[in-house]
Amino acid sequence: MKRFPLSKTLPAAFVAVMALGLAGCGFTPLYGPQTVTKGLSAIEVVAPPGRAGYLLREKLDDAFARDANVLPSHKFIYSVQEQRYARGVRVDNVANRYELNLTAHWRLVDSKTGKDVKSGTTSAAVTYDSADQPYASIAAQQDSQERAATELARRIQLELATWIAGKSKA
Residue 3 has pLDDT above 70, yes or no: no
Residue 169 has pLDDT above 90, yes or no: no
Which of 139, 149, 137 has its CA nearest to residue 52? 149
pLDDT in tens, 141-154: 999 999 999 999 99
* pLDDT classification of 96: cutoffs 50, 70, 90: confident
The pLDDT of residue 168 is: 65
Consecutive H or E run containing 163: helix 134-169
Q: Looking at 108-122, 123-137, 143-157, which range is the least confident one?
A: 123-137
The pLDDT of residue 120 is: 96
The pLDDT of residue 126 is: 96
Residue 79 has pLDDT above 90, yes or no: yes
CA distance 113 to 78: 18
The pLDDT of residue 57 is: 96
Please tell me which residue, 22 or 52, carries the higher pLDDT value.
52
Percent of the chain with pLDDT over 70: 78
Which of 85, 87, 123 has its CA nearest to residue 104? 123
Residue ranges and CATH numbers for the domains of the chain are: 34-169 (3.30.160.150)
Model pTM score: 0.77
* pLDDT classification of 36: cutoffs 50, 70, 90: confident
CB 63 within 8 A of CB 160: no
Phi, psi angles (nearest 5°) of residue 15 = -65, -40
